[in-house]
Amino acid sequence: MTGKTAAEARRTSIGAQRNPASQDAILQAAEEILVENGLGSFSIEAVARRAHAGKPTIYRWWPNRAILLLDVYHRQKYVDIAPDTGTIETDIFQLLSGLFEFWSAGHGGAVFRSVIAEAQTDPAACKAVAAYMADRYRQGGEIFRRAKARGDVADWVVPELAMEIITSFAWKRLLTDRLDMTPEELRLVVRHLVHGFEVT
Amino acid sequence: MTGKTAAEARRTSIGAQRNPASQDAILQAAEEILVENGLGSFSIEAVARRAHAGKPTIYRWWPNRAILLLDVYHRQKYVDIAPDTGTIETDIFQLLSGLFEFWSAGHGGAVFRSVIAEAQTDPAACKAVAAYMADRYRQGGEIFRRAKARGDVADWVVPELAMEIITSFAWKRLLTDRLDMTPEELRLVVRHLVHGFEVT
DNA sequence: ATCTATAGAAACGGCCCGTTTCGATTGATG
DNA sequence: CATCAATCGAAACGGGCCGTTTCTATAGAT
């Protein structure tokens, strides 16, 4: 027992097994760097410094930047992707509203932006993101399956594709730094999505 | 006159003015690197080597990576963003189809992906991309203004917003490397966009 | 003829890459 | 209880790119 605080104390091996304290410190340091200084300042060296960890420790468990980024992102716990409010329109409003709030209020937005950017460099990360999104569409498609059962949504609508269209808009707003939408603006977007453009 | 070919010949100053040959060589080298090896291999040093240019020459005219990338992108000439086929549905189909073709067949896709990724690191580049897109929406909104005049599109539809929703889908497909769509799949997407999800 | 801004080459200190080496730690094994 | 094995953080490696500075050569403008 030294006089150092927990943050200053040097972590060491706990035997021939992974040290959860190091794992946490590394992931948290990585998240902090992303949120405070962005992907530009994100490097394994910087994470190691901030976490008081050795570079080999990081490389041992996260073979590259992209995997570390994905791990940071998956720690962010996310809002309900399939709210059930009774109407398709308010379901989608709730979904987008929650997503925008999650991205702008907390750390989720900064982290996810970084993941998407990294995916443009790393093909494996790109596939991982695409697979993750496909899973999201499957989950969120529940909104449309319920709505179909109620008779509120047309038969030919493909739940997963509709979800992709909806979240695509959210992506673009995130990537162009335009998450600040009023409820009225967001309602207008939802109207375009739900009613389409045609005169009915 | 040396025995060297044009590619090998060393360019030099043409006086106290910018040398267009150097400018072209640099932009072309930058594009080639992006297309062949991706943003990961894109560095000022690499561009300078490939273009047989001095780094100071690059830094003099393009203060940073992002500006050079944007310049490369703007050289790519783009498809018609506002086709006029007579119906809103085929207009949008044409637009998306042309965009996907432009992105996957030529160099446009690889370059634009890189620009978007860079924008996640560089706030100035992010604003530039957002402004560029806003301009695109204004141009492409013409599709909806024409359709409104024909009475094919509802009054409450905001042309720019509708365009943003449409191109958002294209962005997501580009960024997740899923540009390979059959005409049938694309038609289905367009139907979701135009008709919306609701039963009519 | 002189001035001036350009061109490319080379080298600078600094940072990060991914890897290797090292001594210390501690659970698992026999 | 002694040994083994895998982990930990620290430090250092050669290599690459950063953005800048210094250099010589070039050729239009004055």
**Stretch among A5-14, A52-61, B77-86, B175-184 having the lowest mean pLDDT:** A5-14
Contact B113 A120 (CB under 8 A): yes
* pLDDT, tens digit (0-9, with 9 covering 90-100), for A69-119: 999 999 998 888 899 999 999 999 999 999 999 999 989 999 999 999 999
Q: Nearest C-alpha of chain B: how many angstroms from A52?
A: 25
Nucleotide whose C1' lies closest to the alpha carbon of residue A16:
D6
Residues B58 and B84 in one domain: no
CA closest to C1' of C15 belongs to A45
Residues in chain A with CB shorter than 8 Å from the CB of B175 are 116, 119-120, 126, 171
Query: What residues form DSSP beta bridges with A194?
Result: none
Contact B127 A156 (CB under 8 A): no
Q: What is the CATH number of the domain that holds A146?
A: 1.10.357.10
Q: What is the CATH number of the domain that holds B51?
A: 1.10.10.60
Residues A44 and A81 in one domain: no
Flag whether A14 is in a domain: no
Residues B54 and B84 in one domain: no
pLDDT tier at B3, thresholds 50, 70, 90: very low
Flag whether B3 is in a domain: no
Cα separation, B142 vs B160, in Å, equals 9
Residues B94 and B49 in one domain: no
Residues B24 and B91 in one domain: no
Residues A95 and A176 in one domain: yes
Q: Which domain holds residue A34?
A: 20-62
Residues B57 and B134 in one domain: no
Flag whether A120 is in a domain: yes
Residues in chain A with CB shorter than 8 Å from the CB of B133 are 176
pLDDT at B10: 84
Could you give the number of structural domains in chain A?
2
Residues B178 and B127 in one domain: yes
Flag whether B140 is in a domain: yes
Flag whether B10 is in a domain: no
* pLDDT, tens digit (0-9, with 9 covering 90-100), for B36-77: 999 999 999 999 999 999 999 999 999 999 999 999 999 998
Q: What angle do CA B26, B27, B32 make, to 5 degrees?
A: 100
Residues B27 and B87 in one domain: no
Nucleotide whose C1' lies closest to the alpha carbon of residue B60:
C6
